[in-house]
């Protein structure tokens, strides 16, 4: 049996693929920004002298990192609906992904924060810097620079993981591919096109993170400005 490849009917649906790619980008950007914020705060919280805060952050990180993302998405989407809180699929997807990436970001940022030697913090305190200035210039920015490659990889993986949200009818790329495949019956062609879309998005995302890293870290080092 000879299979004849035909991309014509699939490529004719390009507006749908563009729509799905745009939703994937919005999901990724929202989850990345909010997840970075939550993860950074949680990483700081895990090192807090307050035992309640430290334990609460630790429980959150371990609970999320040891359960599947798909289950977390179902808990948010169907769980909230079961108690009368019906939320749109997009909002549920963003919320679940923020909760998920926040836990992974917390562990990455914690490793960066712990790599900062205490003597650097003590020296900054001797210079009469405020607590906020110490955290920003001496702890957080150098810590983020050290773990920036790991953060970049994690956020790109997050973008690829948006495909799971198709299970709750969030119309990102994979959901669009499922629809096009059911209409055209060209499975290989449909998912080949979607694979190319994901590859392009991954490369663009890595390029954007590289440019951000150059602006945040490399340029300032060359200028001799403090991190």
Residues 175-219: tens digit of each pLDDT: 999 999 999 888 999 999 999 999 999 999 999 999 998 888 875
Q: What are the Cα distances from residue 78, in Å, to 70, 86, 96, 127?
A: 12, 8, 12, 53
Calculate mean pLDDT across residues 52-68: 95
- Percent of the chain whose pLDDT exceeds 70: 93
Mean pLDDT along residues 71-92: 92
User: What are the backbone angles phi and psi of residue 142, rounded to the nearest 5°?
Assistant: -65, -35
Instruction: Estimate the share of the chain in helix, then strand, then coil, as percent rounded to the nearest 5.
Output: 85, 0, 15
Closest CA to 141 of 208, 77, 217, 50: 217
pLDDT at 217: 80
The three-state (H, E, C) secondary structure of 107-168, written as one string? HHHHHHHHCCCHHHHHHHHHCCCCHHHHHHHHHHHHHHHHHHHHHHHHHHHHHHHHHHHHHH
Cα–Cα dist 4/2, whole Å:
6
Q: What is the pTM of this model?
A: 0.86
Task: Write the DSSP symbol of residue 6.
Answer: -
CA separation for the pair 45, 213 (Å, rounded): 25
- Answer for the pair 76, 68: CB distance below 8 angstroms, yes or no: no
Q: Which of 108, 83, 126, 139 is nearest to 32 (CA)?
A: 108
Banded model confidence at residue 117, pLDDT cuts 50, 70, 90: confident
Whether the Cβ atoms of residue 87 and residue 78 lie closer than 8 Å to each other: no
pLDDT reading at 101 higher than 60: yes
Assess whether pLDDT exceeds 70 at residue 104. Answer: yes
User: Which residue in 81, 3, 200 sits closest to 73, CA to CA?
Assistant: 81
Mean pLDDT of 78-88: 89
Residue 95 has pLDDT above 50, yes or no: yes
pLDDT over 50 at 227, yes or no: no
pLDDT in tens, 151-174: 999 999 999 999 999 999 888 999
Average pLDDT (128-139) is 74
Rounded Cα–Cα distance for residues 4 and 61 (Å): 49
What does the chain come to in residues? Answer: 227
């Amino acid at each position: 049996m000879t299979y004849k490849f035909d991309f014509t009917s699939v490529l004719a649906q390009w507006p749908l693929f563009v729509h799905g790619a745009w939703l994937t980008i919005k999901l990724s950007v929202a989850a990345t920004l909010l997840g970075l914020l939550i993860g950074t705060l949680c990483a700081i919280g895990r090192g807090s002298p307050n035992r309640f805060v430290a334990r609460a952050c630790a429980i959150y990180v371990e609970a999320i990192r040891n359960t599947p993302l798909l289950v977390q998405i179902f808990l948010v989407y169907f769980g909230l609906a079961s108690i009368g809180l019906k939320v749109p699929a997009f909002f549920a997807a963003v919320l679940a992904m923020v909760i998920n990436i926040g836990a992974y970001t917390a562990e990455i940022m914690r490793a960066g924060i712990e790599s900062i030697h205490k003597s650097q913090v003590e020296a900054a305190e001797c210079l009469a810097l405020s607590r906020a200035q110490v955290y920003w210039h001496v702890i957080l920015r150098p810590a983020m620079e050290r773990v920036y490659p790991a953060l970049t990889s994690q956020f790109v993986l997050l973008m690829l993981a948006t495909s799971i949200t198709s299970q709750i009818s969030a119309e990102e790329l994979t959901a669009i591919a499922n629809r096009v495949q059911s209409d055209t019956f060209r499975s290989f062609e449909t998912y080949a096109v979607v694979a190319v879309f994901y590859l392009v998005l991954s490369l663009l995302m890595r390029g954007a993170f590289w440019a951000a890293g150059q602006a945040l870290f490399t340029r300032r080092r060359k200028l001799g400005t403090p991190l």
